[in-house]
Structure 1
Amino acid sequence: MGKRKGARSGVYHVMSRGSGKQIIFEDNADRRHYIDVMRASFSADSGVILIAWCLMDNHVHLLISGELADIAISMRLLSSSYAMYFNKRHARVGHLFQGRYKSVPIETDAQLAAVIRYIHQNPWKAGYSTSCDYPWSSYGEFLHCADDGTPATELLELFGGAEGFREFHAHLGGSQACTTEDAEFGSGHRAMPASIALDVARAALGGIEPGAVSSLPRAKRDASISRLGAAGLSVRQIERLTGVSKSTVARLLGH
């Protein structure tokens, strides 16, 4: 593993995703639990401050500040604690997160503003919502934060206050110089929102959870993949939901 690049500012855009692009949040109870663990992991005691965040179905975006060593400890605590909870609740085994989290150093105010917008626009670009006003991100925290010295309160000045913040987020596109990982961690397939895709998959599988498909006997696994394809899910969506490799899904669907 290569050495992480440090930021003179101490601010990093951190990205972590499910193993094999598998979903890591089955429902809102999972999302709430992750947020609870996230807030406990990033605290004054840990030396790591949470600035902005967004939970997607199979990955998370975090903007945090702190020393690299402290961030590593906090991320390890967050990932291991949540994985233990998730595996127990959903009766699964194995690694939940794929390898090491990615971190991109943020050095300038322009980069900082761009990455905050990029994080908050992820659900909009993916079709999860029709704006940045998404319940599982820090967008609302920035707009409704009290003048209490939190990072959101201080950073609103970058945008000229709440109205400037809202306007800056109101248009898709713009600079994404904050990260070179956009293609890998990008918003994904737009034809069917991920939240809808999960419901469609569950209905098509008749009681089998999508995340369990990869561990089924081969014949049953292949039949399940075929049903998901017939239900209108894309190869990439099936890969994300089931953890079955893209090449295998494509072969089974004749793509």
Structure 2
Amino acid sequence: MQRGNSRQLLFEDDADRLKYVELANSAIAKTGVGVVAWCLMDNHTHLLMRGRLEDLSKCMERLGGCYSRYFGKRHDRVGYLYQGRFKSKPVLSEAQLLTLIRYIHRNPVEEGLSDTCAYPWSSYVDLAGMRKEPLVSIVGDALALFESKQSFQLFNEAPEGRRETPRHRKELLSSFAAKPPRLTESDVRQSLSEILARRGYEALPHSDRFARNDILRELKDLGYTVRQIERACGIGRNIIQRA
């Protein structure tokens, strides 16, 4: 998820949205990631993506940078378009995947942008077969979870507590109360190694607090606790909490 700086609009009109879609497809093709679901709101975007952590970050950095330059030039804007780095969290189970797909597709309904999930700037229209060609290239993970396109539509559209569930009914219903799988310190160290390699560091930079804090924020965005990061990185919890 990426939000406009100070919650400012990311899209002034449909021309902006089409440009974002164009740049998204280019970034997806160049980095080899897969998009499962997506939605463009007025001041933020949702992208449910599949791929290696390094490729996902490259895709978002490429997309964010290209669109920011386009938006600034077209609307004569200066300064940061986005409110910091994009936010990301891992999807750790099929139940979480289902919950997130529904959340993304219902976002326009919950925010009052559409009466139904058939909002033109989301993957719902494509997955439900309401558009001849998908705006953003998507992989088939979402529909594979459902018996039919009709069950997919009912699952997304029906009010909470009355929706039709897919064949994975028990796993989905239990996911709202169940805790996600526990992330270990080994996972923290593995993620840290990947982040450092992507940024060109051999170890966590202590002399550059801005670079260090950016890496710590990325670890927190991945779902690791302050205590896990503290023990894996050897950094005090106060520094991690302030990052």
Q: What TM-score does the superposition give when structure 1 sets the normalisation length?
A: 0.59
Indicate the residue corresponding to 1:39 in structure 2.
Answer: 25
Q: Is residue 159 of structure 1 aligned with residue 176 of structure 2?
A: no
Provide the C-alpha distance between the structure 1 equivalents of 2:48 and 2:70, rounded to a whole number of angstroms: 23
Q: Secondary structure at the match of 1:129?
A: coil
Residues of 1 paired with 2:67 and 2:160: CA distance? 32
Task: Tell me the residue number matched to 1:69.
Answer: 54
CA apart distance, 1:154? 4.4
Unaligned runs of 5+ in 2: 162-172, 177-243
Q: 1:24 maps to what in 2?
A: 10
CA contact (8 A) 1:47 1:67 kept: no
- How many residue pairs match? The answer is 159
Q: Distance in 1 between matches of 2:100 and 2:114?
A: 19
* C-alpha deviation, 1:24, in angstroms: 0.6
Q: 1:106 is paired with a residue of what secondary structure?
A: coil
Secondary structure (helix, strand or coil) at the match of 1:57 reads coil
Q: Which runs of 4+ in 1 moved over 4 A?
A: 174-177
CA RMSD for the aligned pairs?
2.0
Separation (CA, whole Å) in 2 of partners of 1:151 and 1:78: 16
> Is 1:139 equivalent to 2:89 in the alignment?
no
- Greater relative CO, 1 or 2 (CA 8 Å, sep 6+): 1
CA change 1:165–1:152 in 2 (3 A) is: farther
In terms of mean alpha carbon deviation, does 54-63 or 137-146 score higher?
137-146
| Offset of residue 72 of structure 1 | 1.1
Select the residue among 155, 159, 169 that pairs with 2:156.
Answer: 169
Question: SS of the counterpart of 2:128?
Answer: helix
Q: Structure 2 CA distance, aligned partners of 1:151 and 1:160?
A: 19
Give the TM-score normalised by the residue count of structure 2: 0.61
Q: 1:152 to 1:171 in 2, by over 3 A?
A: farther
Task: Give the letter aligned to residue 148 of structure 2.
Answer: G
Tell me, yes or no, if the aligned pair for 1:125 and 1:172 is still in contact at 8 Å. no
Would you say the 8 A contact 2:36–2:141 is kept in 1?
A: no
C-alpha deviations, 1:126-172, integer Å up to 9, x for none? 110101000000001111189xxx85544313121201101101124
Match of 2:110 in 1: 125
